[in-house]
Amino acid sequence: MTLAVDAVFYLFSIVCVVSALMVVVSRNPVHSVLWMITVFINGAGLFVLLNAEFLAMVLVIVYAGAVAILFTFVVMMLDLDFTGPALRSKQTLLVGLAVGAVLLGDLFVMLSEWSVSPKAEALRASPTPDLSTVSNTVALSRILYTDYIFLFQTAGLILLVAMVGAVLLTFRRQRHQRQDVSVQLARSKSETLKMNRVENGKGIS
């Protein structure tokens, strides 16, 4: 059985890496988004192999099912000329290389100077419950809603702020027409319909 698990692991990870590469390489942005969704789904597969089925499903629901949909939405609306020279010019290549080099440097600096505060270490050591008695959803929620409750709430607040911001950006007192459905539905036949008896050959003046 372990052989099968190994085989599945390599399948997921190879597909994952290859599609991650395709996200960057493919010319068409819509294809990039579709490859990214493949990455998410294969990542979820890897989570399942780690017995983290809750995380796997949440990854698919949140990222593949909601976030990537919005990406797709935007990218599909763009009228990009993705064969044009602008995307492949030497200038962008140089800028890209520079940004990449800086990020790589950052990564090295961080890894060499990384230290973990003892408090965080203590939190990490919160006992893992026996997974044969509790499902990992319950185990996760027990930690999330006790030790990490403030971090969890803060994350929620940040998302709320983002949402309020987005709503505010689109919410202006505009002069556009508003439709009040209840008013529309409350209209009666007498207000909208008038039956005329029309004599033959005369019509309505």
Partner 1 sequence: MAEAMQELFGPAGVWITWILQCVAIVAPLIVSVAYLTYVERKVIGAMQMRKGPNVVGPLGLLQPFADAFKLLFKETIVPTGADRFVFFMAPMLTLLLALVAWAVIPFQEGWVVSNINVGMLYILAVSGLAIYGVMMAGWASNSRYAFLGSLRSAAQMISYEVSMGLIIISVILTAGSMNLTDIVLAQKGVWFGVIHFPMFVLFVISIMAETNRVPFDLPQSDAEIVAGFHVEYSAMGFALFYLGEYANMILMSGVCVVLFLGGWLPPLDMAPFTWIPGIVWFFLKMAVILFVYIQARATLPRYRYDQLMRLGWKVFLPLSLLWLVLTASVLFFTGLWPEYGA
Q: Which residues bind partner 1 (CB under 8 A)?
A: 28, 30-31, 34, 37, 41, 44, 53-54, 56-58, 60-61, 64-66, 69, 72-73, 76, 133-138, 179, 181
Q: Is the Cβ–Cβ distance between 63 and 38 less than 8 Å?
A: no
The CB density around residue 101, as the number of other CB atoms within 10 Å, is 10
In the complex with partner 1, which residue's Cβ is closer, 39 or 56?
A: 56
In the complex with partner 1, which residue's Cβ is closer, 11 or 93?
A: 11
In the complex with partner 1, which residue's Cβ is closer, 34 or 39?
A: 34
Strands (E), the chain: none
Minimum separation from the CB atom of position 143 to partner 1 (A): 14
In the complex with partner 1, which residue's Cβ is closer, 180 or 191?
A: 180
Kindly write down the DSSP assignment for every residue of 32-47, as one continuous string: HHHHHHHHHHHHHHHH
Q: Whose CA is closest to 142, among 124, 155, 129, 130?
A: 129
Minimum separation from the CB atom of position 194 to partner 1 (A): 23
